[in-house]
Amino acid sequence: MTPTGTTSTTDTGDAPAPPDHATARTVTDVFQPRNVLLIGMLGIGLAAAGHWTGLLWGFLGALCAGLIPAGYIEWERGRGTWGDRHVVDRTKRAPIFFVILGSIGTGSVVMVLGHAPTGILVAMLALWAMTVILLAVNTVWKISVDAAVASSVVALLAAVHSPWWLLGYVMTVAVCWSRVALGYHTVAQTVAGASLGAATAGAFLLG
């Protein structure tokens, strides 16, 4: 994001940067990964445990998968490393992925040692695997992380609760639209991210 408030893309193959779009900005901020993961992991933890204690495991999952990485991004922003939390330059995103992988990995170890319900642990490992793929793809192409997270959480909730949760893909579509409208991604990059996120549920079901 440039100082004037308009978005900017520096990656070859990204969409041209249109003027800032207020609705798209609201959607992308409300449904940013840390918020989606907080709600999603709480729901997955509750389903995995079958009682309220699952919320504690779910919060640990949200902390490691979403809140800690978001805190790292904000810290780096404060140091002037990035212009905003979206880190639109693909080449600067690798450290974020490594923080996510380390954080999820640490949380998973804590879950194993604490005998967490299998479901929440499998969800964490599925998210870890998804992040590995995002990191690999990001080395050559700016796949949408926001779309991947929004899609994976909906798919996981549908797997552990009810197929009715698939209606949540309205939110995923809105996230994809907002990323394109703000010039952060092309349609192909959001579709690829959402597809990868949906595949995360497959890893959960196989687990």
User: DSSP labels for the chain?
Assistant: --TTS-----STTPPP-PPP-HHHHHHHHHT-HHHHHHHHHHHHHHHHHSSTHHHHHHHHHHIIIIIHHHHHHHHHHHTTSSSSTT---GGG-HHHHHHHHHHHHHHHHHHHHTT--HHHHHHHHHHHHHHHHHHHHHTTS---HHHHHHHHHHHHHHHHT-GGGGGGHHHHHHHHHHHHHTTSS-HHHHHHHHHHHHHHHHHHHH-
Domain membership of residue 11 (yes or no) is no
Helix orientation angle between 187-206 and 145-160, rounded to the nearest 10 degrees: 30
Any domain includes 161: yes
Inside any domain, residue 112? yes
Residue 12 included in any domain: no
Per-residue model confidence (pLDDT) at position 132 = 96
Q: Give domain status of residue 131, yes or no.
A: yes
In this prediction, the residues of the chain whose per-residue pLDDT falls under 50 are: 1-17
Structure tokens at 25: 């900005």
Question: What is the model's pLDDT at position 79?
Answer: 83
> Domain for residue 5, yes or no?
no
Tell me, what's the pLDDT at 83? 66
Domain that holds residue 47: 22-206
Structural domain total, the chain: 1
Predicted local confidence at residue 207, as pLDDT:
61
Does the residue 6 lie in any domain? Answer: no
**Tokens representing 71?**
């805190």
Residue 84, in any domain of the structure: yes
